[in-house]
């Protein structure tokens, strides 16, 4: 097929566009009035349509086309975004994903989408799609803010009161969506000018984003203002359009939100004229907490083969080694000019290094951002209430790890929802809030990135696990007795193991968790479980940072040099031998009020004594692994240096407490300590 050479690009880009759609739709659900988001979705969908039509995938193109129609209607404010509309759009994105997936797997990308197409058509025609989802209620409770969001801008009771009262007095409230030209440079200035025009003609009740954000230019091209006036709105519109660099002004009248009828009695209280006076001025209504600025999505990117990045990285590593060598030479030569040049080069190359490294690093967000969507759906399918909390989505990981980590995480999340979180009834009986919480957390620690999935569900029943493991023949009775808690939990990862009492389609077919474990291990990571029955479980994944250049502290122990990654180091200290205490055959020191065990590398690594050591003081590097700390005793600190992480190769895989090697300025090899292995 002549198109085949483009197929890979097509699939890659389609996936990216669909991912963008998913993310944006979720944003839209939170911010139903933000037309900017709709525009972005539209753009992605449009590109997708064009690409799939070119590639000859008609089904894909026609569904995208239908979706595009709906989006277009939303964009032109013919359709109001609500949960039902979003559900159908989500569903079509799902279908699109499935089609792209089928193409990626060599299929023809065909799929019966008539159902979705019909629904989309109905929305487009302004009808409400026939909802067979009894579970819609679950969603409503999941995202209360997104339900019933008829008006474009959400007002709090106070603002609504003012609007209602003004209406009673013959004023009219308008929502104006003002778009500035894309090339507008002084957005804040334009906003100020627009506000001045508006305030001459009436009172501004609310701005979205808030005025503070507007003043800080913390918005894209457009913003919305609600004003109360008795002037002719077309005249005001004309005046606003006269302000330079205003591209368009869209106006609609504010509808009664109606839902606040319960607060009817309060409406009489605030007297309008006074209220309006106090509200005037630029600092209006900063209380709109829901006005989240939309991140600009239009980053320009190019596609680079990861292999080329690897080559670039390798070349740069060579450069770093030579840089170290040059620095050493210039120090020995003690030539001012040479030293300055070398220093300058060092600075430039470290900037270069940051850029190259960052090119390979991707925030886990790219993996995480599909989870809210998935959890939302899953919770509905399972009739459970689940809040997903994502922490540390900005944590960056090497691209290669990112590519692999998605599936295991999906599995663990499903597992948490299906087996961890109980049904709302059970939760109520156990005195827990009905909605379960799943926390997905990513963070750096030492040389590793940790990703934790924590649920506040039922936890793991050890006896159940043991019984199941026995039944499935994974362990026998003798083995069972000596198992530690951790070992019991690890049984869950054995192949052919399933603890769920009933089998659902979400998880619990007994395939998967073993795959999760093997995938993570193949990435050089590990997975552990911590659980408290009745309270919940934490699945913790530890992944190596496959950074190839790291900052490290070089230390000397007798005649051997070792590098300790700076990321593990808290600080260095000189400790008097007299201050060392002994507990349970372990030497400890008091470090800032904490008891820190001392590790003598000389003994651990059986380093030969080639010169006598200082009797009175110890040089200690305080390192940490998560919360735990240890003091590594060395002979001297050489200094901090950027080092290139090199593998010891397959032949020397799994050397205790050594994570790799590096080449120093003098051409010698120094080993890199793995502090995580040293701290138990």
Partner 1 sequence: MVETITDHIKLIVFQLKDKEYAIAVNEVLSIEKVDHITRVPGTSKYVKGVINLRGIVVPIIDLRSRFEIDEAVYTENTRVIIAAINEIQVGLIVDSANDVIDIAGDALEPSPEVIGTEVADYIKAVAKINSRLLILIDLEKVLAASEES
Binding site for partner 1 (CB under 8 A): 317-318, 321, 560, 604-607, 646-652, 655-658, 661, 663, 667-671
Please state the closest distance from residue 2 (CB atom) to partner 1, in A: 37
- Helices (H), ranges, 416-524: 424-429, 462-471, 477-481, 485-490, 513-522
Minimum distance from residue 557 beta carbon to partner 1 (Å): 10
User: Among the options 13, 16, 46, 97, which is catalytic?
Assistant: 46
Instruction: Exactly one of 29, 68, 159, 452 is catalytic; name it.
Output: 68
Alpha carbon of residue 177 to chain centroid: 30
Identity of the residue, 343 or 666, whose beta carbon is nearer to partner 1 in the bound complex: 666
**106 vs 649, beta carbon nearer partner 1:** 649
Pick between residue 324 and residue 512 the one whose CB is nearest to partner 1: 324
459 Cβ partners below 8 Å, 6+ apart?
Answer: 420, 531, 532, 533, 534, 535, 536, 537
Q: How far, in Å, CA of 226 to CA of 30, rounded?
A: 20
- Tell me whether residue 325 or residue 444 sits nearer to partner 1 (CB atom): 325
Query: Please, what is the minimum distance in Å from the beta carbon of residue 489 to partner 1?
Result: 29
In contact, 171 and 244? CB cutoff 8 Å: no
Q: Would you call 269 a catalytic residue per the annotation?
A: no
Residue 167 or 646: the one with the smaller Cβ distance to partner 1 is 646
Q: Which is nearer to partner 1, 605 or 637 (CB)?
A: 605
CB 560 within 8 A of CB 478: no
Query: Where would I find the H helices in 156-260?
Result: 157-168, 187-201, 211-215, 233-242
Q: Which of 199, 218, 202 is nearest to 210 (CA)?
A: 218
Q: Which is nearer to partner 1, 469 or 563 (CB)?
A: 563
Q: Is the peptide bond before 209 cis (omega within 30 degrees of 0)?
A: yes
CB of 665 to partner 1, least distance (A): 11
Q: What stretches of 457-500 show up as alpha helix (H) in DSSP? A: 462-471, 477-481, 485-490
Asked about 275 being catalytic, the answer comes back as no
Report the alpha-carbon distance of residue 631 to residue 619 in Å, rounded: 9
Q: Which residues pair with 229 in a beta bridge?
A: 172
Q: Shortest distance, CB of residue 431 to partner 1, whole angstroms?
A: 51
Residues 6+ apart with CB under 8 A from 401: 449, 523, 543, 544, 546
DSSP state of 281: S
- Closest CB 57 distance from partner 1, rounded Å: 41
Which CB atom, from 269 or from 608, has the smaller least distance to partner 1?
A: 608
58-75 and 83-104 helices, crossing angle to 10°: 150
Q: At what angle do helices 114-124 and 83-104 cross, to 10 degrees?
A: 140
CB 544 within 8 A of CB 558: no
Q: Which is the catalytic residue, given 22, 152, 415, 447?
A: 415
- Burial category of 531 from C-beta neighbours within 10 Å (exposed 0-12, middle 13-18, buried 19 and up): buried
- Cβ-based nearer residue to partner 1, 436 or 660: 660
CB of 19 to partner 1, least distance (A): 36
Instruction: Tell the smallest beta-carbon distance from residue 314 to partner 1 (Å).
Output: 9
In order of 98, 214, 295, 375, 501, the CA distances from 299 in angstroms are 27, 22, 10, 28, 48
Contact yes or no for 564/646 (Cβ under 8 A): no
What residues form DSSP beta bridges with 436? 386
611 or 656: CB nearest partner 1: 656
Q: 217-246 burial string, b = 16+ CB within 10 Å, else e? A: bbbbbbbbbbbbbeeebeebbebbeebeeb
- To partner 1, the closest distance from the beta carbon of 343 in angstroms equals 24
- By C-beta, is 65 or 602 nearer to partner 1? 602
Alpha helices in 183-305 (DSSP H): 187-201, 211-215, 233-242, 272-279
Which residues 6+ apart lie within 8 Å of 500 measured at CB?
Answer: 418, 419, 507, 508
Nearest CA among 72, 96, 98 for reference residue 85? 72
Which helix (H) or strand (E) segment is 113 a member of? Answer: none
For the CB of residue 607, give the shortest distance to partner 1 in the complex, in Å: 7
CB of 135 to partner 1, least distance (A): 53
Q: Is 340 a catalytic residue?
A: no
Q: Give buried/exposed letters for 289-327 (b at 16+ CB in 10 A, else e).
A: eebeebeebeeeeeeeeeeeeeeebeebbeebbebbebb
Residue 415 to residues 420, 421, 492, 564: CA-CA distances in angstroms? 7, 9, 11, 37
Please give the positions annotated as active site.
46, 68, 415
């Amino acid at each position: 097929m002549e198109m085949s050479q483009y197929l890979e690009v097509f699939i890659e880009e389609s996936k990216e566009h669909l991912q963008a759609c998913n993310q944006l739709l979720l944003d839209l659900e939170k911010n139903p009035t933000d037309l900017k988001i709709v525009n972005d979705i539209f753009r992605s969908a449009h590109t997708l349509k064009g690409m799939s039509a070119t590639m000859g995938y008609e089904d894909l193109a026609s569904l995208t086309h239908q979706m595009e129609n709906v989006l277009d209607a939303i964009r032109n404010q013919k359709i109001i975004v609500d949960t039902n509309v979003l559900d159908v759009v989500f569903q079509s994105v799902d279908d699109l994903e499935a089609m792209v997936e089928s193409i990626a797997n060599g299929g023809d990308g065909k799929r019966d989408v008539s159902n979705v197409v019909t629904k989309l058509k109905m929305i487009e025609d302004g009808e409400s799609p026939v909802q067979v989802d009894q579970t819609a209620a679950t969603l409503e409770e999941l995202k209360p803010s997104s339900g019933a969001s008829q008006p474009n801008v959400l007002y709090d009771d106070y603002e609504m009161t003012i609007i209602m009262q003004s209406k009673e007095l013959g004023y009219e409230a308008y929502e104006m969506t003002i778009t500035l030209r894309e090339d507008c440079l002084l957005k804040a200035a334009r906003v100020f000018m627009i506000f001045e025009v508006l305030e001459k003609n009436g009172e501004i009740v609310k701005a979205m984003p808030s005025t503070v954000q507007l003043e800080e230019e913390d918005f894209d091209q457009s913003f919305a203002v609600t004003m109360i006036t008795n002037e002719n709105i077309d005249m005001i519109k004309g005046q606003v359009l006269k302000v330079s660099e205003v591209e368009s002004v869209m106006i609609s009248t504010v509808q009664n939100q109606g839902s606040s009828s319960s607060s009817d009695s309060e409406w009489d209280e605030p007297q309008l004229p006074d209220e309006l006076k106090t509200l005037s001025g630029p600092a209006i209504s900063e209380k709109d907490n829901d006005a989240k600025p939309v991140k600009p999505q239009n980053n320009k990117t190019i596609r680079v083969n990861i292999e080329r990045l690897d080559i670039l990285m390798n070349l740069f590593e060579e450069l770093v080694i030579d840089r170290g060598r040059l620095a050493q030479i210039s120090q020995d030569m003690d030539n001012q000019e040479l030293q300055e040049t070398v220093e300058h080069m060092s600075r430039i190359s470290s900037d270069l290094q940051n850029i190259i490294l960052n090119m390979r690093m991707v925030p886990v967000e790219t993996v995480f951002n599909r989870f809210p969507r998935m959890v939302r759906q899953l919770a509905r399918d399972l009739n459970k209430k689940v809040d997903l909390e994502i922490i540390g989505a900005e944590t960056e990981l090497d691209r290669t790890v990112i590519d692999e980590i998605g599936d295991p995480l999906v599995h663990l999340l499903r597992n948490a929802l299906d087996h961890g979180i109980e049904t709302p009834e059970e939760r109520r009986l156990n005195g827990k809030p009905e909605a379960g919480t799943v926390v997905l957390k990513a963070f750096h620690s030492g040389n590793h990135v940790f990703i934790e999935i924590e649920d506040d569900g039922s936890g793991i029943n050890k006896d159940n696990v043991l019984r199941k493991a026995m039944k499935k023949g994974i362990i026998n009775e003798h083995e069972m007795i000596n198992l530690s808690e951790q070992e019991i939990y690890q049984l869950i990862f054995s192949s052919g193991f399933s603890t769920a009492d009933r089998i659902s389609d979400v998880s619990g077919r007994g395939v998967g968790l073993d795959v999760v474990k093997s995938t993570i291990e193949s990435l050089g990571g590990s997975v552990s479980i911590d659980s408290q029955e009745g309270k919940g479980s934490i699945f913790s994944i530890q992944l190596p940072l496959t950074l190839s250049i790291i900052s490290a502290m070089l230390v000397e122990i007798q005649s051997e040099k070792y590098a300790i990654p700076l990321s593990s180091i808290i600080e260095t200290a000189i400790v008097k031998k007299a201050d060392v205490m002994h507990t349970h055959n372990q030497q400890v020191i008091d470090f800032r009020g904490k008891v820190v065990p001392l590790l003598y590398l000389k003994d651990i690594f059986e380093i030969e004594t080639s010169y006598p050591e200082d009797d009175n003081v110890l040089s200690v590097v305080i390192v940490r692994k998560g919360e735990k700390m240890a003091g590594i005793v060395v002979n001297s600190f050489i200094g901090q240096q950027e080092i290139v992480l090199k593998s010891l190769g397959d032949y020397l895989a799994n050397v205790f407490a050594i994570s790799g090697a590096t080449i120093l300025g003098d051409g010698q090899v120094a080993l890199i300590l793995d502090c995580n292995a040293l701290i138990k």
